[in-house]
Amino acid sequence: MDNGSFTDGKLVGAVLTVVVFFELIFGGKYVK
């Protein structure tokens, strides 16, 4: 069963998307 891995992958993708979204909004101030 790959269901767990698939769910984790979606979660990671969602988190990365949110991080990039906030970085774009705040002008990348969180990028060191």
Please state the pTM of the whole predicted model.
0.51
- Tell me the CB-side half-sphere exposure of residue 11, using CA atoms within 13 A: 6
Query: Which 3 state secondary structure label does DSSP give 26?
Result: coil
Q: Give the pLDDT confidence score for residue 19 in this predicted structure.
A: 87
**What is the mean pLDDT of each successive set of 10 residues along the chain, which is 32 residues long?**
72 90 78 55
Residue type, 30: Y
